Amino acid sequence: MATTLDIVKYPNHILEQKAQRVERIDAETQTLIDNMIETMRQAPGVGLAAPQINVPLRIVVIEYGEAESEEEEETVEKQLFTLLNPEISRMSREKEMGTEGCLSFPGILADVERSLGVTVVAQDRNGEPLKIKAEGWLARIFQHEIDHLNGVLFTERAEKVYTIEPEDPQAENSAA
């Protein structure tokens, strides 16, 4: 049974450090991944990097599905990505400004310019190689989470940072 872990909040210094490669995938790694998925879902967020739970390893979990409308939000099928040692191997030249939130920065949103498309190479939770091409919001999530592994905060990339009230509907589904 998976456990919900505490999410590290800024200004914890682990958020600004480069995470270490995962060299061994064992039962402890699998438990960590399961706990990360549970923590992300309970938060709730669309992505979580291991440094956000105070573990300096290059692991991210992302769960996302594109909904056409708010009514569809609850029923849309989401895809779960578990990535070990992910790297962005290609980024589109086309960029787009978008509003992002972060589980490690409660009450903060930021306007961040990101590439519209990325190609990510990684390993899955069993160590098998993965190559994922993502566009739009999913590409943004990959960039945000991989930044966490490199010690880069979304506020560092932001054009504008602002605080929000907990009831702000814009805060829904923007935390990664």
Per-residue pLDDT averaged across 41-70, rounded? 92
**pLDDT for 80-104, tens place per residue?**
999 999 999 999 999 999 999 999 9
Kindly state whether residue 4 falls inside one of the protein's structural domains. Answer: no
pLDDT > 60? residue 174 = no
Kindly state whether residue 85 falls inside one of the protein's structural domains. Answer: yes
Kindly state whether residue 2 falls inside one of the protein's structural domains. Answer: no
pTM (2 d.p.): 0.90
Kindly state whether residue 45 falls inside one of the protein's structural domains. Answer: yes
**pLDDT for 126-136, tens place per residue?**
999 999 999 99
Kindly state whether residue 3 falls inside one of the protein's structural domains. Answer: no
pLDDT band at 51 (very low <50, low <70, confident <90, very high): very high
Specify the CATH number for the domain of residue 82.
3.90.45.10
User: Would you name the residues annotated as active-site residues?
Assistant: 145
| Rounded CA separation 81/144 (Å) | 14
Ordered DSSP codes for 69-124: STTTTTTSPPEEEEEEEEEEEEE-S-EEEEEEE-TTSTTEEEEEEEESEEEEEEE-
Kindly state whether residue 8 falls inside one of the protein's structural domains. Answer: no
Mean pLDDT of the residues in the chain: 92
Q: Which two tokens stand for residue 28?
A: 């402890």
Per-residue pLDDT averaged across 46-52, rounded? 98
Residue given tokens 């160590």 in the structure block: 127
Kindly state whether residue 7 falls inside one of the protein's structural domains. Answer: no
pLDDT > 90? residue 108 = yes
Per-residue pLDDT averaged across 94-115, rounded? 97
> Which residues sit opposite 135 in a β-bridge?
117
What is the arrangement of strands in the sheet containing 95-101, beginning at the earlier edge strand? 95-101, 108-115, 158-163
| Rounded CA separation 35/104 (Å) | 17
| Rounded CA separation 55/71 (Å) | 36
- 169's CB contacts (< 8 A; 6+ apart) are none
pLDDT band at 77 (very low <50, low <70, confident <90, very high): confident
Give the count of domains, the chain.
Answer: 1
**Half-sphere exposure at residue 46, Cβ-oriented, CA atoms within 13 angstroms:** 24
pLDDT band at 168 (very low <50, low <70, confident <90, very high): low
By residue range, what is the domain housing residue 70?
A: 13-171
High-pLDDT (> 90) share of the chain, %: 84
Backbone φ/ψ region at 51: left (φ over 0), alpha (ψ -120 to 50), beta: alpha
